[in-house]
Amino acid sequence: LITLTSTMTSKQAPGILIAARHGERRDYIERDAGGNWIPTTSRPWDPPLSDAGHEQVRELGRRVARSLRQHNLPPVSFVYSSPLLRCCQTAAGAIVGLEEEGMTDGGRNLKIRIEHGVVESLCEKWYRSWCLPGSDGTWGYCPPQSDLVVRGGSAASAWTVDVSTINPNAKVPAPELFLSPSDMEERLKGSCGEKVQTRSDGLIDMEYTTPVAPLSESFCWGKFESRKMQLARAKNLTDKLAARHPNETILLLSHGSPVTHMFEVISGEDWTAHGVCGYASFSTYVHEKSGDGEESIVWKEPVVINDSTHVLNKDSA
């Protein structure tokens, strides 16, 4: 039984789970400027951060460090990230920010554990954002009315998809779309600045090869992850990580929907109590154990909910 309470009952240090969304993404910037990043890449499902996004995520690390200090909570011991590039870039920048603030456990060099359980919601709207002709990154993309008329269609057919026209990568199991740890390391070194590029021991934890919360099914086009499945994934993930790190602080870098799902399953409240998850926003949850196993996790009142006061461009969402 997972419960939520506002009082501390254990003499041991509590466990801390910080869930954050990635920074500003490049494809949205190009879309909003009238362009389209999707046709320019071989990996349209995996956009990187924008230049502003890289700044946001370093500030995210600094803000998380200051927040932990403010609430007298222990420093970050482990970092988990979605396997998508923008989240791993966010993790890399946040680690730089944490280290600049001296807020890593024992001054250790933090590494990124790539965790499938915090990946984007693998629902139809995600696939539509990148796999259809004309997709521009927009969540749940539908062809514009003018395109439908040219093709002899109608407004009623806007949601209908000719499977023969979609990106073939949408038809393979989602994990096959993720970069390998070594490829991710190279991407980070090439995109995340000097402090990452010159780090001799690398940023990706190459020994972390078995996700604590693997995907329940081989999701692909036509076999989408439902909201019920997404919430179950969030619960499985948070329970397992809390049990694995009962007295440590962990930072999770994820996406807007999974971050709000974590709020829902931890707090028991509707996602609207959390609100829309902006770029580089984060929430901090405290948990304790009343016994052994995942069933003994006791969640406290959240310390921070959806904080984005540090974000440089508050108009981005």
In this predicted structure, what is the pLDDT of residue 316? Answer: 40
Q: Which two tokens stand for residue 258?
A: 């999974």
| Helices (runs of H) and strands (runs of E) counted in the chain | 9, 8
Q: Is 25 helix (H, G, I), strand (E, B) or coil?
A: strand
**Amino acid, single-letter form, for residue 220:** C
**Domain encompassing residue 221:** 3-122+173-307
Which CATH number fits the domain that encloses residue 297? 3.40.50.1240
In this predicted structure, what is the pLDDT of residue 150? Answer: 47
Q: Is 279 helix (H, G, I), strand (E, B) or coil?
A: coil
Report yes or no on 116 lying in a domain.
Answer: yes
Query: In total, how many domains does the chain have?
Result: 1
In this predicted structure, what is the pLDDT of residue 4? Answer: 46
How far, CA to CA in Å, does 24 sit from each of 28, 183, 213, 293, 312?
8, 22, 26, 37, 10
Write out residues in the chain with pLDDT < 50, as ranges.
Answer: 1-10, 149-150, 156, 313-317
What φ, ψ does residue 4 adopt, rounded to 5°? -120, 130
**Amino acid, single-letter form, for residue 65:** A
Asked whether 18 and 282 are in contact (CB, 8 A), the reply is yes
Q: Which residues pair with 17 in a beta bridge?
A: 250, 285
Report yes or no on 91 lying in a domain.
Answer: yes
In this predicted structure, what is the pLDDT of residue 109? Answer: 84
Report yes or no on 142 lying in a domain.
Answer: no
Report yes or no on 94 lying in a domain.
Answer: yes
Report yes or no on 37 lying in a domain.
Answer: yes
> What is the per-residue pLDDT across 184-193, written as a single tens digit (0 to 9) for each?
999 999 999 9
In this predicted structure, what is the pLDDT of residue 294? Answer: 63
Report yes or no on 131 lying in a domain.
Answer: no
Q: How many Å from the N-terminal Cα to the C-terminal Cα in the chain? A: 35
CA gap 120, 260 in Å, rounded: 12
What is this structure's pTM?
A: 0.90
> What is the per-residue pLDDT across 271-312, written as a single tens digit (0 to 9) for each?
999 999 999 999 999 999 877 666 688 999 999 999 998 775
Report yes or no on 298 lying in a domain.
Answer: yes
What φ, ψ does residue 49 adopt, rounded to 5°? -70, 155
Report yes or no on 199 lying in a domain.
Answer: yes
